[in-house]
Amino acid sequence: MRLLKLLEGLEVKSKTGPLDAEIKGIAYDSRLVEKGYLFAAVRGLSVDGHNYIREAINRGAAAIVSEKAAANVIDANQFAFHKDTAFIEVPDSREALALISAEFYGRPSGRLSLIGITGTNGKTTTSFITKNILDAGGKKSGLLGTICYITGDVKTAASHTTPESLDLQRCLNEMVYNEMDYAVLEVSSHALALNRVEGCAFKAAAFTNFSQDHLDFHGTMDEYFKAKCRIFGYLAPEGAAVLNWDDPKIRPLAQTLKCKTVTFGLEEGAMIRAEKIKEVRSQKSEVRSKKRGLSEVPPFAKGGLGGITFDVRTPTSRLRVKSQLIGRFNVYNILTSIGIAYSLGVSEKVILQGIENTRPVEGRFENIDEGQKFLCIVDYAHTDDALRKLIEEARHLTKGRVITVFGCGGNRDKTKRPLMGAAASGLSDLVIVTSDNPRNEDPLEIIKDILKGIGRSNYTVQPDRAEAIKEAVSIAREGDTVLVAGKGHEEYQEIKGVRHHFSDKEVLKEEIKKRLAVGG
């Protein structure tokens, strides 16, 4: 595609060189530049692409998009040797990258029905429920989110919750090529703040909930909220905002947004409202309990590992929802998906079938059952709000003690660490504070921050995460629940910039089997 075509509609401060160059590809990593490519110099959190412009030119870049003019990047003598490279100066190279990428791939969001889901918690489960609803209606839908990218028949592991704009447009283009009708996107606050979804138009944009997270990046809760709200600026003219009516921060948006809105919740006033929530008994759990020789069917067998049912009132009807998912937080995730489907005009029959088809999502309140006489749950909870809801749900299902294993990530929002410590200690019977992904921080310093919020003596410290999980399994008694929180589906632990294979599920299963082998 010609460079001039890619630049149409783009705000350009200055441009030099052969603007009619044929662009064969785009890169924002200089190491991926090939002859005839356009290189976009973007400023990352730790690396500035402007420092690699010369490398991109040496690799054969036909065009450079930069926040600096050519004269400020290479001196006059060097410039003479790079006359075959076009330089495009723009106010924001990230925004330019997104718009250029959308144009390069033929604006694929216009050929799909795009659904965006943002919020502090619940995005992943909501995205899978939504995809299953669309699939149940006979439509083909792709998905881009925290766990995986589905752009066709192949599912790949995700590198970011929301891919960088170039990768996002390429994925959307793959969905178009694979004749998909819908694309369901988890849209992170980082992606919104960094213009990754520029060039996209959403048919529906949902805001699940709002609580503290990512203040290391956004600085304040107000800036974090503003970043989340940017998603509604990408709505198509006929698009709808789907809002959590029960969240006091989100509710006012129903009156301030100048678009179609659909609200959901448990409280009066929600357009889509859940009532008569009931946890259903799992027959399998009861049978397994008897086979294991448990003295009685434990509360977690009675309390809902079979799923949940509830009534839903919509503006036009009343539905009876049956789901394999459990917990009050999943009621909200289901309601979000119903709101999205309702805004898209999906039939009630299809909505109910899609919900019923949805299995528990990997690493989200995932039950690890190896035949032990206590419950083990792995969950991605990594904010104080998510951790609080996780423990409250476990408490409701547990006759015995709740034992919580958790840590906090390094090089991330430090202010949430004591809040998570307070939530864990205040709601659990026992807490084992450990390491999560320390990244480039000292795990012991992270743990110190967590301990500042703990006001009880019901905790121990075990920096080695595998040993912490082993300890929790070793002390669990019949009817207890062991919660391992923070990493969920992740299969690595990042230490000093290096990712080592680590899976909470694998460690749990191994330790449970060891205990059962010796009659525990």
Q: Which two tokens stand for residue 220?
A: 């304040």
Domain boundary at 47, 72, 95, which? 95
Task: Decide if 410 contacts 439 (C-beta within 8 A).
Answer: yes
- Asked whether residue 252 is assigned to any structural domain, the reply reads yes
> Which residue's structure tokens are 């929600």?
270
240 and 335 in a common domain: yes
pLDDT tens series, the chain, 520 aa? 999 999 998 999 999 999 999 999 999 999 999 999 999 999 987 889 999 999 999 999 999 999 987 666 655 444 444 678 999 999 999 999 999 999 999 999 999 999 999 999 999 999 999 999 999 999 999 999 999 999 999 899 888 889 999 999 999 999 999 999 999 999 999 999 999 999 999 999 999 999 988 888 889 999 999 999 999 999 999 999 999 999 999 999 999 999 999 999 999 999 999 999 998 766 554 444 445 444 444 444 333 367 899 999 999 899 999 999 988 889 999 999 999 999 999 999 999 999 999 998 999 999 999 999 999 999 999 999 999 999 999 998 899 999 999 999 999 999 999 999 999 999 999 999 999 999 999 999 999 999 999 999 999 999 999 999 999 999 999 999 999 999 999 999 999 989 999 999 999 999 999 999 988 6
231 and 110 in a common domain: yes
123 and 32 in a common domain: no
Distance, in Å, from the CA atom of 151 to the CA atom of 142, rounded to the nearest integer, reads: 5
481 and 353 in a common domain: no
- Identify the H or E element spanning 16: strand 14-16
User: What are the φ/ψ torsions at residue 479 (nearest 5 degrees)?
Assistant: 90, -5
Q: What is the DSSP letter of 249?
A: T
Distance, in Å, from the CA atom of 111 to the CA atom of 252, rounded to the nearest integer, reads: 32
Please state, as a whole number, how many other Cβ atoms lie within 10 Å of the Cβ of residue 129.
Answer: 30
Q: What does pTM read for this prediction?
A: 0.88
483 and 407 in a common domain: yes
Q: Which residues contact 44 (CB under 8 A, 6 or more apart)?
A: none
240 and 132 in a common domain: yes
Domain boundary at 48, 77, 95, which? 95
- Asked whether residue 427 is assigned to any structural domain, the reply reads yes
86 and 177 in a common domain: no
- Asked whether residue 189 is assigned to any structural domain, the reply reads yes
Name the E strands within 290-385. Answer: 308-313, 318-323, 366-367, 375-379
Q: What is the CATH number of the domain that holds 202?
A: 3.40.1190.10
Q: Which residues contact 255 (CB under 8 A, 6 or more apart)?
A: none
484 and 420 in a common domain: yes
Task: State the first-to-last Cα distance of the chain, in angstroms, to the nearest integer.
Answer: 66
Q: What is the CATH number of the domain that holds 500?
A: 3.90.190.20
Q: Which residues contact 433 (CB under 8 A, 6 or more apart)?
A: 406, 407, 421, 424, 447, 450, 451, 454, 459, 460, 461, 462, 468
Nearest to 357 by CA among 312, 314, 321: 321
Distances (CA, A) of 123 to 107, 257, 315: 25, 21, 25
379 and 257 in a common domain: no
Q: Which two tokens stand for residue 214?
A: 């990512």
Domain boundary at 306, 335, 357, which? 357
- Asked whether residue 294 is assigned to any structural domain, the reply reads no
Q: What is the DSSP letter of 32?
A: G
Q: What is the CATH number of the domain that holds 51?
A: 3.40.1390.10
Domain that holds residue 188: 105-266+327-357
Task: Decide if 380 contacts 489 (C-beta within 8 A).
Answer: yes
- Asked whether residue 279 is assigned to any structural domain, the reply reads no
158 and 67 in a common domain: no
> Which residue's structure tokens are 């809902």?
304
78 and 114 in a common domain: no
Report how many domains make up the chain: 3
257 and 109 in a common domain: yes
- Asked whether residue 314 is assigned to any structural domain, the reply reads no
